[in-house]
């Protein structure tokens, strides 16, 4: 650990050398003051000892403008009092299991309808983040049911829950339902909020996400850029929501095959996430995963594996064992091995992905089609054309049911089936 002494103010004593007072004279001991705040500038592995890491620190404090702006913004987002505020904070740092336990306890003692509606909303959010999408919708519906007893359908208080329902339907692959609820939420917000409010940015971002999943990339970019434009004006430059915008725009460019542009946006997102979030936060895993995707598409497989494994390590610690994001990690690592021609290794990871996906998602979810498609391609690589055809046909059935008829993945699957049939 190294600390830049040039940034130390004359009015503070962040640390002191105490080697002359130490019981062991050979130790060059340093005592750090309580509540001293440092900015992490760089972390790198030691050249001389691979078990050690060097951390470069710059002294900062409560008067640091960037730190103050981010702290104030997070305080605004984590509003409320007592245990309710603690629950929101747990969600912000990615401690979803602890937050769920807390909200279940609060629900037992909740006396007012407004408290119950809020807790059901939070439980819906947590279930969605844990990949339990149908349970998420059930909790959100309970919240709306309570709110609708005393509020009109277009009341501003209902907008966040409509958003939550939209996200859950999008994760289940029901894109028309997802758009219906996101547009409901947006309509309420556009009436109630100024045009540059961050909540409007969230709605534009969510609608962009649905269009991206539907394969309509120009529409997706249109909404993502609307969202990003607001966030750049309204939020501090190191806010995690800006990282989300960069990740989403990067994702569209990746799907369009513009990999250098995608990497540019993904690296911007990672830079913010590494500064703003704990090292085991699921959003950081998303950033590592996205960069891995680009390197894989660019043919740099060792780099792709490096980032995918970083992502998987966080997800295995932070998420429940049947979470769809874990399935995504296994699938992506399988893709790298498939591209390297190691089809047996690819199948090992694809089957892990399929096992989770079948448990976590509805039977016609597009992600299940992706799993079947990839297993089919691995069997094709191994020369087992009958098995390849069986899995590719399963993928096509799901894609034709769950995606718009013009979606590029439908044509891609049909092409793959034709290649296999020619080999038989």
Q: pLDDT (tens digit, 0 to 9) for every residue of the chain, 424 residues total?
A: 566 666 556 566 777 777 776 666 666 777 777 667 776 666 666 777 767 777 777 777 656 666 666 556 555 555 555 566 787 777 766 677 888 888 988 899 888 898 899 899 999 999 888 878 889 999 999 999 999 998 988 899 999 999 999 999 998 889 999 999 999 999 999 999 999 999 999 999 999 999 999 999 999 999 999 999 999 999 888 888 899 999 999 999 999 999 999 999 999 999 999 888 888 888 899 999 999 999 999 999 999 999 999 999 999 988 888 888 999 999 999 999 999 999 999 999 999 999 999 988 888 888 899 999 999 999 999 999 999 999 999 999 999 988 888 888 899 999 999 999 999 8
Could you tell me which of 420, 415, 376, 423 has the C-alpha nearest to residue 395? 376
249: number of Cβ within 10 Å: 26
H-run or E-run covering 163: helix 159-171
Q: Cα-flanking dihedrals φ and ψ of residue 55, to 5°?
A: -115, 120
Of the candidates 335, 328, 332, 330, the one whose C-alpha atom is nearest the C-alpha of residue 365 is: 328
List the one residue out of 340, 337, 346, 360 whose CA is nearest residue 391: 346
Q: With contact defined as beta carbons under 8 Å apart, do 151 and 167 qualify?
A: no
Which domains occur in the chain, in start order? 2-61 (no CATH), 64-192 (1.25.40.10), 195-312 (1.25.40.10), 319-424 (1.25.40.10)
CA angle 29/33/34 to nearest 5° reads 130
> Could you give the CA distance from residue 397 to residue 284 in angstroms, rounded to a whole number?
34
How far apart are alpha carbons 57 and 227 in whole angstroms?
A: 33
- The total of other beta-carbon atoms located within 10 Å of residue 30's CB is 12
C-beta separation of 296 from 339 below 8 A = yes
Do 254 and 293 meet the contact criterion of CB atoms below 8 Å apart? yes
For residue 60, the cross-strand partners are 37
Residue 367 makes CB contacts below 8 A (sequence gap 6+) with 173, 324, 327, 328, 357, 361
């Amino acid at each position: 650990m190294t600390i830049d002494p040039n940034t130390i103010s004359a009015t503070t004593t962040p640390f002191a050398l105490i080697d002359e007072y130490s019981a062991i004279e050979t130790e060059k001991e340093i005592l750090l003051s309580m509540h001293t705040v440092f900015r992490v500038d760089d972390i790198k592995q030691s050249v001389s000892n691979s078990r050690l890491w060097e951390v470069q620190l710059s002294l900062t404090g409560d008067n640091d403008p960037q730190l103050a702006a981010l702290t104030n913004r997070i305080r605004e987002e984590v509003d409320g009092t007592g245990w309710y505020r603690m629950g929101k904070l747990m969600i912000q740092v990615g401690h979803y299991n602890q937050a769920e336990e807390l909200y279940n306890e609060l629900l037992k003692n909740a006396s007012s309808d407004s408290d119950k509606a809020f807790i059901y909303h939070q439980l819906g959010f947590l279930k969605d983040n844990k990949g339990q999408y149908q349970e998420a919708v059930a909790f959100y519906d309970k919240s709306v049911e309570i709110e609708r007893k005393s509020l009109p359908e277009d009341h501003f208080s209902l907008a966040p829950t409509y958003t939550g329902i939209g996200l859950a339907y999008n994760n289940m692959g029901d894109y028309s339902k997802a758009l219906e609820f996101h547009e409901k939420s947006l309509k309420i917000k556009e009436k109630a909020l100024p045009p540059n409010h961050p909540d409007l940015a969230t709605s534009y971002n969510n609608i962009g996400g649905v269009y991206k999943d539907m394969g309509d990339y120009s529409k997706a970019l249109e909404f993502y850029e609307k969202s990003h434009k607001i966030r750049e004006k309204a939020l501090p430059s190191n806010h995690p929501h800006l990282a989300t915008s960069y990740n989403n725009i990067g994702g569209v460019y990746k799907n369009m095959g513009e990999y250098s542009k995608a990497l540019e946006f993904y690296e911007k997102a990672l830079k913010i996430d590494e500064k703003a979030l704990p090292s085991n936060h699921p959003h950081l895993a998303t950033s590592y995963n996205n960069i891995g995707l680009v390197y894989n598409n660019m043919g740099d497989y060792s780099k792709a594996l490096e980032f995918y494994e970083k992502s998987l390590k966080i997800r295995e610690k932070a998420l429940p064992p049947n979470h769809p994001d874990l399935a995504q990690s296994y699938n992506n690592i399988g893709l790298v091995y498939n591209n390297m021609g190691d089809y047996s290794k690819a199948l090992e990871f694809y089957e892990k992905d399929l096992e989770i996906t079948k448990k976590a998602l509805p039977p016609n979810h597009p992600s299940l089609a992706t799993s079947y498609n990839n297993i089919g391609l691995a069997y094709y690589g191994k020369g087992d054309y009958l098995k390849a055809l069986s899995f590719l046909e399963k993928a096509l059935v799901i894609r034709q049911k769950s995606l718009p008829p013009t979606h590029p993945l439908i044509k891609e699957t049909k092409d793959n089936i034709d290649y296999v049939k020619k080999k038989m």
